Each structure stands twice: as structure tokens, then as C-alpha cells.
Amino acid sequence: MLAIEKLTHVYANGTRALDGVDLLIPPGMFGLLGPNGAGKSTLMRTIATLQAPTSGTITFDGIDVIAQPEELRRTLGYLPQDFGVYPRVSAYDMLDHMAVLKGVASRAERRDTVEGLLNQVNLWAVRKKALAGFSGGMRQRFGIAQALIGDPRLIIVDEPTAGLDPEERNRFLNLLGEIGDKVVVILSTHIVEDVADLCPRMAVLAGGHILLEGAPLDLIDATRGRVWQKTIARDELEAYRNTHRVISTRLFAGRTIIHVMADGQPGDGFEPVRGGLEDVYFSTLDASRRAA
């Protein structure tokens, strides 16, 4: 169990990236969803002991993460948003080097570890290829391989599918889903579908605050019967924003589809929407903006 209490981080320029964050994260996949600039990466770096918070506590299975960073690092796997590697080194040699850094001293043990991980992430066939020649998806799969060295009990992946094409995204999400439910895996992303596909628990972070937490299916159920949609002309959007609680818009065939929140039929032409995690996410952000 990862326990975060009253975590606050204020940067030197006065930016309050985290403001009293409280979270209890059990074993299994946990989705941290939020827009760019929400504070997600600050939270991930703080949990990963890469920066100290201004105040608050983090504990993981009896480890005081802030006071005992080395203890946490022994059981941590981390794939940051910007994962840098030596581009001219082969995948095998780089993974072997990282295994040394993680404390896998025995050559035979490293060989078994590296070969097993490269097969697990489906990179064995390109093990001798320089990392510079890897596609974005291949680099992310390599990133998961290095994060799994040493059988970590806490794994953090920060914006892992941003920029991946649909095929690579599905391959990467399937790989994450295979990690299992005996370790804590935090998936930090702004992509709603990633959380919907993988995570039985989630939270929404924005403006440094936790706005919502729970099981995606329960949160979706709470919006049932309250989400409506209508197709309108693009130049009508502003008028609808003035008269309805518009939570999201998207274009289709040159026309605009709006989703609104309402406890009853909001007007002519509106149809009920079954609702999904995207509606939960957008309605939560909308409520936060209205309360500000």
C-alpha cells in the first residue's frame, strides 16, 4: 500500500504544483488522470524520490519514502515521461548495464534477467539494434523492461502512450496489463482511454488537488441519466455554453457534437448518452473550473 498524506510542493518561482494531496493506492493498476500541468509529473517524481516535497508524507509498505529514499529505490521501477538512453548502445547492452546499476551483480543472473525481459517486452529480435533506431513504441517497451529489473513492488509510468500510434499503444497497454496485481502500478496520464482500459482504481488530479477518486465503473454509474448530447452548427456553440453546462465538444463531419450535464431533458434535440469515463473526467474538470 502506498499512502500519501497532505503532500505539497511549491517550486522556487512560487508555483504550487501539489496542494495537500491525499491518496491511498492499493496493489494493482491505479490511474492518475489529469490535464497537462495538473501536477502529475511532480507527484510521480516526488514518489520516485527524485525531488523532496515542501511538506507532507509518503509511506510504502513501511518505508518512509522521504526519510528513506534508498530503501524505496531498491523496490522501485520507474518509466519517466522523458526516458533518456544512450542512443548508440544496443538494447541488450543497455539493459545489462542498467541491471548492474540496480544491483544485479552476478553475470549469470543478469543474463537470465536481460533475456527474460527482452522476451517479455517482445524486443528479443532487435536486442543487438542500437536504441537510436527504435520506434517510439519500441523505446517505451524498452523503458518498461528496465523498470521491471529487480522485481519491483512499486512501478511508476508517467505519460507512457503519448505520441504512440494506435497499434503501439495497444501493444504497450497489453504489456502493462500483464504486470499483475501483486505490485502497485501507477499509470499517470492525460489520456482517458488508457485509464479506462487498465485501471480498477483511479483519481483525477488538477491544479495540484485531487478532485475525484474511486473505481471507474462506480464513477461512470454516478453520471448515468445526467449526460446528454446534441449535434449543432459550430457557430451555435457559444450560445449553448451560455445556456447549458457543456462539458465537452468534438467535431464530426464538420459539425459539432456537444455533451452537457443536466438532471433532466435539457431541451429539444438532446439525446441521452450512456456515459463513460470521458464524461466523468470532463464533468469533474468543468465543476472544478466553475468552483474556482
Q: Residue 170 belongs to a domain with what CATH number?
A: 3.40.50.300
User: Is pLDDT of 179 > 90?
Assistant: no
Confidence of residue 175 (pLDDT cuts 50, 70, 90): confident
pLDDT confidence bin for 167, thresholds 50/70/90: confident
Q: What is the mean pLDDT of residues 106-110?
A: 92
pLDDT reading at 113 higher than 80? yes
- Which among 196, 216, 236 is the end of a domain? 216
User: Of the residues 157, 181, 216, which one is the last residue of a structural domain?
Assistant: 216
Indicate if 193 and 55 belong to the same structural domain.
Answer: yes
Q: The domain containing residue 236 runs over which residues?
A: 221-291
Q: Are residues 53 and 118 in the same domain?
A: yes
Work out the pLDDT band at 199, boundaries 50, 70, 90: very high
Label residues 16-41 b or e (16+ Cβ within 10 Å = b): bbbbebebebebbbbbbbbeeebbbb
**pLDDT, average across residues 39-68:** 96
- Residue 26 pLDDT > 90, yes or no? yes
Local confidence band at 285 (pLDDT 50, 70, 90 cut-offs)? very high
pLDDT tops 80 at residue 60: yes
Residues in Cβ contact with 80 at an 8 Å cutoff, skipping those fewer than 6 apart = 41, 44, 45, 48, 158
Same domain, 150 and 255: no
Give residue 242's pLDDT.
95
182 and 123 inside one domain: yes
Average pLDDT over residues 66-73: 95
CA atoms within 13 A on the CB side of 30: 24
State the amino acid at position 152 in one-letter form: P
pLDDT, mean of residues 73-99: 88
Q: Which three cell numbers stand for residue 191?
A: 489520456
Taking residues 238-244, report their average pLDDT: 96
232 & 181 share domain = no
Q: Tell me how far the alpha carbon of residue 10 is from its chain's centroid.
A: 22
| CB 256 within 8 Å of CB 226 | no
CA gap 226, 11 in Å, rounded: 39
Query: 113: part of which helix (H) or strand (E)?
Result: helix 107-120
Q: Is the pLDDT of residue 253 over 80?
A: yes
Check whether residue 33 and residue 19 sit in a common domain. yes
Q: How far is Cα 190 from Cα 187, in angstroms, rounded to an integer? A: 10
Of 276, 152, 151, 203, the C-alpha closest to 39 is 203
DSSP 64: E
pLDDT of 80 strictly over 90: no
The verdict on pTM exceeding 0.85 is yes
pLDDT level of residue 30 (50, 70, 90 thresholds): very high
**How many structural domains comprise the chain?**
2
- Alpha carbon distance 164, 142 (integer Å): 14
Are 107 and 123 within one domain? yes
| 274 Cβ contact partners less than 8 Å away, ≥ 6 residues apart | 224
Please check whether residues 191 and 231 belong to one and the same domain.
no
28 and 161 within one domain? yes
Q: Which residue, of 200, 216, 232, is where some domain finishes?
A: 216
Distance CA 90, CA 95 (A): 8
The mean pLDDT value of the chain amounts to 92
- pLDDT confidence band for 177 (50 / 70 / 90): confident
pLDDT at res. 240: 96
Identify the band that residue 259 occupies on the pLDDT scale cut at 50, 70 and 90. Answer: very high
Same domain, 212 and 225: no
- Report DSSP state, residue 130: B
Does one domain contain both 26 and 63?
A: yes
Same domain, 97 and 145: yes
